[in-house]
């Protein structure tokens, strides 16, 4: 199972989300812990590829941006609207 750490920014942004989005994020994070490349997460590496930053879907509008620390640990960097996450 994947171990997850989070940034202060991630915590601050998570708290600002609606309850419905937080619940969806929690459910997707459970799936992510078991398999970060589960198809419904649509995990992908972000540009530029050399920065090793990834994201996965909460829903069609919201994403979690993260970085792999090693094969069993990730660091969640950002959570929010897909328009904000890619800027």
pLDDT digits (tens, 9 = 90+) for 12-33: 999 999 999 999 999 999 999 9
Residues 20-70 have pLDDT tens digits of: 999 999 999 999 999 999 999 999 999 887 788 999 999 999 999 999 999
* DSSP type of residue 46: P
Name all domains of the chain by residue range, CATH numbers in brackets: 3-85 (3.30.2310.20)
Q: How far apart are CA 21 and CA 34, in angstroms?
A: 20
For 82, the 3-state DSSP assignment is: helix
Share of the chain above pLDDT 90, in %: 83
- 28-64 burial, b for 16+ CB within 10 Å, e for fewer? bbeebeeebeeeebebeeeeeeeeebbbbbbeeebbb
Q: How confident is the model at residue 86 (pLDDT cuts 50, 70, 90)?
A: low
24 by Cβ neighbours in 10 Å (0-12 / 13-18 / 19+) ranks as middle
Q: How many CB atoms lie within 10 A of CB 78?
A: 18
For the chain, what is the mean pLDDT? 93
Which pTM value belongs to this model? 0.90
């Amino acid at each position: 199972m994947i171990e997850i750490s989070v940034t202060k920014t991630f915590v601050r942004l998570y708290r600002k989300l609606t309850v419905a989005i937080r619940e969806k994020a929690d459910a997707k994070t459970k799936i992510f812990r078991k398999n970060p490349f589960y198809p419904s997460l649509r995990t992908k590496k972000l540009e530029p590829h050399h920065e090793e930053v990834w994201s996965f879907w909460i829903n069609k509008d919201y994403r979690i941006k993260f970085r792999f620390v090693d094969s069993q640990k990730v660091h969640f960097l950002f959570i929010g609207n897909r328009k904000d996450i890619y800027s």
